[in-house]
Amino acid sequence: MDNSLLERIYKAILKLMVPTGLEETYAVIVDEAMKLVGGDAGRVVLEEDGELNVVYTSSPLAFLPQKVRKNGFVYTSFNQHRAYAINKEDFAHIYPDIVKLGIESALFIPLSFRGKTLGVMVIESYRRGQLTAKDLTVLKLYGAIASLKIRNAQLYEETKKSLENRDLFISLAAHELRTPITTIYGYSQLLFERTKDEDSVESRWISSLHAESYRLTLLTKDLLEINRIKAGQLQYVFKECALKDAIGRAMDNFRFNFPQREIIFEDGVGKFDDTVIGDFDKLLQVLINLLDNAAKFSNADKKIILRLKFKSPNFIIQVKDQGKGIPAKDLPKVFEGFYKEKDTINEGMGLGLFLSKNIVDAHRGSIHMHSRVGKGTLVEVQLPRANI
């Protein structure tokens, strides 16, 4: 092996820095190892439940042998954490079929992570191996870097699977909860309508029951919408919509569910045409989410301001509260699914803003948040005016 081995290992390590899935990771580390030593086939053997199993092979040649022989060459490299090379006279009597295929040598590189050996990478070649002790030491270093990439890919796959299981559970739970929650909300609404003008303990209980059942209904709806977004199944019906109509509906909804809260609408467009091309129900959902958030994170005696402005070519909708605000370090995370402040005591799963952003993005618009701790929060939505 020439003196440029270190330089070639450096180039190989650069390729290992690119994030890949588990199967692709195996392919990359074997391919780079074959380039380093002039190999023609390779395989990755990892320890699983106390046994060494082949998890990847680069070609049919590497399938021989398919099983890892107890106390064989792979186990020696694994147990001794040692890189070494052998030539055909060392394995001809054990694997004559490999010799018939023209394999002249094999190289064993231990794969370790944080002091623990994970497995062994085997590289087979049509040429005889002539590796110095220095070469083997450097290749052992390459094996350590390759092991780190394998471990990162394993953790990524585990995280991905956990998130998929979480999303599946949430989807199934939301579907199962939707019917009973809708029934509860329907009856609580009937009771609320009958007792809302009364001043009694029972009427206040019913008012609280109605508000909480409404929140449950919205949460279940958001969970189902999130699932549809991730599955690419959220459907839109685009047509001409008047923004003031959506704002009026959202404010009516807000006043019904938060009768004690003060909301002020500042109309900055007047008689100017307020038409956009969009899905009216989805835009209404965005407005309801933003107003509900403003109510949730500000005190009952603080007013909420809803503004509509126009700055060509976009309409600008702003929802401003006088709540506790959000720390600057958390602002980049607020539009991620399931985001919640660490010290929040409010219920909810942090889905409203994630859902709102996806809807606004689908309307070729943008949504931003500006906030200061102790000074409140302003959420701004921009939507393009319809060219009519």
What CATH number corresponds to the domain at position 36? 3.30.450.40
> 246 and 150 in one domain?
no
- Residue 320 confidence class, pLDDT cut points 50, 70, 90: very high
Shared domain for 260 and 382, answered yes or no, is yes
Domain count of the fold of the chain:
2
User: Of 128, 160, 192, which residue sits at a domain end?
Assistant: 160
- 149/241 same-domain check: no
Confirm whether 166 is domain-assigned: no
Q: Are residues 379 and 251 in the same domain?
A: yes
> Percent of the chain beyond pLDDT 90?
25
Enter the tokens of residue 175.
């579907």
In a domain, 345, yes or no: yes
b/e sequence 342-373, b meaning 16+ C-beta within 10 Å:
eeeeeebebbbbbbbbbbbeebebebebebee
d(CA 290, CA 254): 10
Which pLDDT score is estimated for 154?
Answer: 87
Q: Are residues 265 and 360 in the same domain?
A: yes
Q: Convert the pLDDT of each residue in 218-264 to its tens digit.
A: 778 777 777 777 666 677 889 999 999 999 999 998 988 888 899 99
Distance, CA of 349 to CA of 368 (rounded, Å): 20
For position 340, what pLDDT does the model report? Answer: 59
> CA 33, CA 37: separation in Å to the nearest integer?
6
249 and 333 belong to one structural domain: yes
What pLDDT is recorded for position 6?
Answer: 65
Start-to-end CA span in the chain (Å):
72
Q: Same structural domain for residues 156 and 259?
A: no
State the residue range of the domain holding 381. 235-388
Which of 109, 134, 160 marks a domain boundary?
160
% of the chain with per-residue pLDDT over 70:
87
User: Helix, strand or coil for residue 198?
Assistant: coil
Q: Are 34 and 42 in contact (CB under 8 A)?
A: yes
Angstrom distance (rounded) from CA 291 to CA 248: 12
Looking at this protein, which amino acid is placed at residue 7? E
Q: Which helix (H) or strand (E) holds 155?
A: helix 133-195
Asked whether residue 111 falls in the same domain as residue 256, the answer is no
Cα atoms found within 13 Å of the Cα of residue 344, Cβ hemisphere only? 19
Across all residues in the chain, what is the average pLDDT? 84
149 with 243, same domain?
no
**Residue 227 falls inside a structural domain:** no
**Where does the pLDDT of residue 68 fall: very low under 50, low under 70, confident under 90, or very high at 90 and above?**
confident
Distance between CA 269 and CA 10 in Å, rounded?
61
Closest-CA residue to 254 (of 278, 284, 299, 221): 284
**Beta strand spans in the chain (E):** 41-48, 51-57, 84-87, 105-113, 116-125, 239-242, 263-267, 275-278, 304-311, 314-320, 366-372, 376-384
- Residue 3's alpha-carbon distances to 90, 131, 139, 363, in angstroms, are 27, 12, 13, 59
pLDDT in tens, 177-228: 878 888 888 898 899 888 888 888 888 899 888 888 887 887 787 777 777 7
Q: Is residue 254 part of a domain?
A: yes
| Whether 264 and 138 share a structural domain | no
The answer as to whether 229 is a domain residue is no
Confirm if 253 and 241 have CB atoms less than 8 A apart: no
Convert the pLDDT of each residue in 11-50 to its tens digit: 666 767 666 788 888 998 898 888 888 888 899 999 888 8
Name the domain boundary from 104, 127, 160: 160
Q: Which structure tokens are listed for 66? A: 């398919």
When mean pLDDT is compared over 88-92, 117-121, 175-179, the highest value belongs to 117-121
Which residue from 333, 254, 332, 341 is spatially nearest to 297, judged by alpha carbons? 341
Q: Residue 282 above 80 pLDDT?
A: yes
How would residue 277 be classed by pLDDT, with cut points 50, 70 and 90?
very high
In a domain, 178, yes or no: no
Q: What is the pLDDT of residue 360?
A: 95
- Residue 131 and residue 268 in one domain: no
Spatial distance between the Cα atoms of 107 and 87, rounded to a whole number of angstroms: 9
Cβ contact 382:365 at 8 Å = yes
Contact 149, 31 (CB under 8 A): no
Amino acid at 214: Y
CATH number at residue 268: 3.30.565.10
Cis before residue 313, ω within 30 degrees of 0? yes
153 in the same domain as 242: no
CA angle 315, 281, 320 (to 5 degrees): 45
Residue 131 covered by a domain: yes
